[in-house]
Amino acid sequence: MNKEQLLKKLLFITAILGFTSIGCSDFDRRTQFNMTYTNRVVLDSSNTKPGLKHDITSDTLKVDFLGLVRDHSSTENGIESVKMVGLSVEIDKKKSPDRGNFDFIRNMEIFIQGKGMDEFQLGNVDSVPLGRVKYFEIKVIPEGEDLTDFVKTEEFVCRMKYTTNKPVPDTAVVVKITPTYLVDTKKFGV
């Protein structure tokens, strides 16, 4: 074997090793995806009185989580973890008046429950941002916890506890509660 052939083999091996180390992290990124599900609660004058604590529950949200996993080329057995990475609340622009915002809410806590599971707190905010805010994010409380069994229930109910500092507007305000989950799977279930 001459020097030129030896050099070609060394370059080839180096290229393969480099591709493998870069390719593995890229492959890992491709086995992760974010998913969001939005629950809605309706705040109106019948369930919101100034200065009092209130508690309102969303309708049950049914989703096809396992179908989403299959859409990402994995299987139920291929799920490695599901972690909550974000939580936002927003005034639903399509179902609320144009002037609807969070200025009547002082503080809030968000809870969620999966079918047949215990409720747990997603997040809270002691002071809702001031101004005519229509959207804000809340720090996630179950940070880093694996929620795989929870999302596999495929049915969720959100509960919002809140205190108001003034009357709710004359028309109903619809609040969207949207947790974001990072799903880590094995591609093709491997």
Q: What is the pLDDT of residues 62-109, one digit of tens each?
A: 999 999 998 888 888 889 999 999 999 999 999 888 888 898 899 999
Q: What is the pLDDT of residues 108-122, one digit of tens each?
A: 999 999 999 999 999
Torsional class of 136: left (φ above 0), alpha (ψ -120 to 50), beta (otherwise): beta
Task: Write down the pTM of the prediction.
Answer: 0.80
DSSP the chain: --HHHHHHHHHHHHHHHHHHHHHHHHHHHHTEEEEE--EEEEE-TTT--TTSEEEEEPPPEE--HHHHHHHTT--GGGEEEEEEEEEEEEE-TTTS-TT--STTEEEEEEEEEETTS--EEEEEESSPPSSS--EEE--BSSTT---HHHHTT-EEEEEEEEEESSPPPSS-EEEEEEEEEEEEE-GGG-
**Where exactly are the structural domains of the chain?**
1-30, 33-189
Tell whether the model's pLDDT for residue 190 goes beyond 50: no
Considering the chain, what is the average pLDDT of its residues? 85
Instruction: Report the range of poorest mean pLDDT among 9-13, 18-22, 129-133, 159-163.
Output: 18-22
Neighbours of 126 (CB within 10 A): 8
pLDDT, position 124: 94
Counting residues of the chain whose pLDDT is more than 90, the rounded percentage is 51
Query: Does CATH number 1.20.1740 belong to domain 33-189?
Result: no
